[in-house]
Amino acid sequence: MNQSIQPPSTTTVGTRLRAAREREGWTRQEVAHRLHLPTSMIEAMEEDRFEVLGAPVYVRSHLGGYLRLMGLPQALLDQVLAQLGAAPPALRSATRTPPLQRFVDRYAMRAVYVILTLSVLLPALWVAMGSGRLDPLVRPGQPVTRSLDAVPPPTTEPASDAPLEPASLGGFEAADPEPVAAVQTGADPARETVRASIAPFYAAPPDESDSRSGWILRFRGDSWLEVQDASGRRLEYGLVRAGSERRFPAEEVARVALGNAVAVDVLRDGDRIDLAPFRRANVARFEVSSDGSLRPVRD
């Protein structure tokens, strides 16, 4: 019974790397380019001079990359590290942190968070709880604050049957209700403070019968508008919502462009303008000549 007896393998890691490289038909320069390493390191690994690579962490990185590139098992890396005697370094604390410092580091940020939260919530709660009941907090002798929008409160003193004389009102006529209320309430003018209101003041709408001159554009649907004067300066440009109205002086308008023109009514000095001659694809463009006539614009 004949059995072939094979001698023990004496192939080293470097020899296997070189054989695998030659089997692929690569040069050391090509392998170095693929691994982004100097050619001298490739030569050192193929000659089993792994100490040239430096610390074990570099041996693990460079040799591991070479083994993966050649398709060799990563167990060879552990074999090389064992030969170099590279054991994982023991982790130990370089400094000792006192217990008080650990306590401060742990709860300092939480305390800052709580302080910032209270600094925001407490003023808000104070305003919410104090608004609406400031009058009961007014102490005797404190100046009274009165709003201009509020109706003067009625007098709490019994009215006298004797008629008020103009002389008793400090020079005001009896028909003036505000001085009469001041006399009846007995408020001290020197100690009374008037609080101005921030309510907006709305002026009366203008009379449209007096403003029929000029250009008037009424939008029955959403559209866009561009109005220019004779110098090319834009008087208005942008989107306009349905239900809006735009007015321009007659002498300032030189060119008009309207989107969704079928939903826009154009009037000049009260006369309606027919946009059909100037409309194209629901966009109307016209310009006003020097004699006041209108002509279409073709862009």
CATH number at residue 80: 1.10.260.40
Q: What is the pLDDT of residue 147?
A: 47
Q: What is the pLDDT of residue 54?
A: 85
Q: What is the pLDDT of residue 127?
A: 86
Residue 141 located in a structural domain: no
Q: What is the pLDDT of residue 7?
A: 39
Q: What is the pLDDT of residue 23?
A: 92
3-state helix, strand, coil in the chain (%, to 5): 40, 20, 45
- For residue 293, the Cα-to-chain-centroid distance in whole angstroms is 49
Residue 118 located in a structural domain: no
Q: What is the pLDDT of residue 207?
A: 52
Three-class secondary structure of residue 109 per DSSP: helix
Residue 184 located in a structural domain: no
Last residue of a domain, one of 50, 84, 118: 84
Last residue of a domain, one of 84, 113, 142: 84
Residue 149 located in a structural domain: no
For the chain of 299 residues, list the mean pLDDT of each consecutive stretch of 10. 44 90 92 91 90 88 90 89 70 73 84 90 85 50 50 51 46 44 47 55 51 87 92 92 92 90 91 90 89 82
Tokens of 251: 């002498």
Q: What is the pLDDT of residue 190?
A: 52
Q: Kindly give, in sequence order, each residue whose CB lies less than 8 Å from that of residue 265, ignoring residues fewer than 6 positions away.
A: 217, 218, 220, 272
Residue 155 located in a structural domain: no
Residue 163 located in a structural domain: no
Q: What is the pLDDT of residue 92?
A: 65
Q: What is the pLDDT of residue 25?
A: 92
Residue 89 located in a structural domain: no
Q: Note the pTM of the prediction, 2 decimals.
A: 0.32
Last residue of a domain, one of 36, 69, 84: 84
Residue 153 located in a structural domain: no
Give the total number of structural domains in the chain: 2
Q: What is the pLDDT of residue 109?
A: 83
DSSP 8-class letter at 235: E
Domain residues for the domain of 221 are 213-296
Spatial contact of 145 and 193, defined as CB atoms under 8 Å apart: yes
Q: Please count the residues of the chain.
A: 299
- For residue 117, the Cα-to-chain-centroid distance in whole angstroms is 23
